[in-house]
Structure 1
Amino acid sequence: MTQPPSGGSTPQHAAATGGRQPAATGQPTRAARSPRSRRGLVVVSVVLVATLLLCGGGGAAAFFALRNAENGEGAEEPAVAVESFLSAVYQDRDPAQAAELVCSDARDDEKIAAKVAEVQAYAARYRNPRFRWSSPSVDSQNGERATVSTKLTMTTADEKVAEQNLRFTVVRKAGWWVCEVG
């Protein structure tokens, strides 16, 4: 027995269906799709992928370029940066003000707020505490980095005195910023 031609109907099939041809499914056959429509689909896909890569790449580049950018202007000198930072933490006890003086690499609002809270708790244990410090001195400096030291002193109304030597690492990025306290 021979097979009927593709897409046609056999006399037996025509008799079984009452002489009607099978209904078209609405799906074009592979031969009916033109190479032009496939080429258009490929072009649109390539353009879409290229656009996504450019936008994503540009966004990523902007993120990495700006993530270490300092907000505002730093101090003019390393010692001035340290002086401002000490005032914010020990006199004003303002974590937001202190955070504005810290370099972006070390800026952690929660840690800065915890340190200021620690200073407040320490001061609350004593009667009328006063904090002062020696004039910050630059121990070493090379172009973009400096080491600054000072002696912090707390004095209370009942004449108790506590001292601590502090050493700061200060970096220059659009001004001087405190990056590390040790």
Structure 2
Amino acid sequence: MSHAPIGAAGPAQHAAAPPPVGRRPRGRLIASLALVAALLLCGGGGTAAFLTLRNTEDGTGATEPAVAVDDFLTAVYQQRSVSRATALVCSSSRDEKRIAAKVAEVQRYVDTYREPRFRWTTPKVDNETGDRATVTTKVTVTTADERVADQDLRFTVVRKTGWWVCEVG
């Protein structure tokens, strides 16, 4: 038997056709798209988690739970300032419409009754555990014609960048 050099005439050989010019294999394209999609999803999820979990309070908050409550009561009952009261509330409870409604309610009381005076007992911390405290006080309004009304209030206050009012009940 004679040995013919490779590629010499002999039985028919099937040579692989070279891939057409300008076409990439689909596997690489699909893998690249999957990688980009995964990066976008992970990046988007990571960003959402960061924005949700980060400390979103701007400002410093009050130094003590009772101070946070006293400042909030001052803003609502004496200053009747929606912006000041809103700035004292934790971001998760910051609803300017509800705060504005409460300030408007106090203003209507001022407009309806003769010379109302608002005062409250020194806010008392009833329970403080870690970054959460419950503070109570009694708000009293007295009018020039000696009408008196009391309201007991309970506040939930949280510490983030200082103490912030989060619930009033």
TM-score range, shorter chain: 0.7 to 0.9
Unpaired segments ≥5 residues, structure 2: 1-18
The correspondence of residues 51-70 of structure 1 with structure 2, limited to 5 A, is 51-66=39-54, 69-70=56-57
**Partner secondary structure for residue 141 of structure 1:** strand
Rg (Cα) greater in structure: 1
**Partner secondary structure for residue 105 of structure 1:** helix
TM-score normalised by the chain length of structure 1: 0.73
**Root-mean-square deviation over aligned CA pairs:** 2.2
What is the distance in 2 between the residues matched to 1:105 and 1:124? 32
Tell me the number of residue pairs that the alignment of Structure 1 and Structure 2 aligns.
151
Identity %: 58
Unpaired segments ≥5 residues, structure 1: 1-30
2:71 to 80, 84, 98: 84
The correspondence of residues 1-182 of structure 1 with structure 2, limited to 5 A, is 32=20, 36-66=24-54, 69-182=56-169
After the TM superposition, which of the residue ranges 76-85 and 117-126 deviates more from structure 2?
A: 117-126
**Partner secondary structure for residue 44 of structure 1:** helix
Specify whether residues 61 and 142 from structure 1 end up closer, same or farther in structure 2 by C-alpha distance, changes over 3 A only: closer
| Structure of greater relative contact order (alpha carbons < 8 Å, 6+ residues apart) | 2
Q: Which ranges of 4 or more aligned residues in structure 1 deviate by more than 3 Å?
A: 31-37
Residue 46 of structure 1 and its aligned partner are, at CA, apart by 3.0
What is the distance in 2 between the residues matched to 1:48 and 1:145? 42
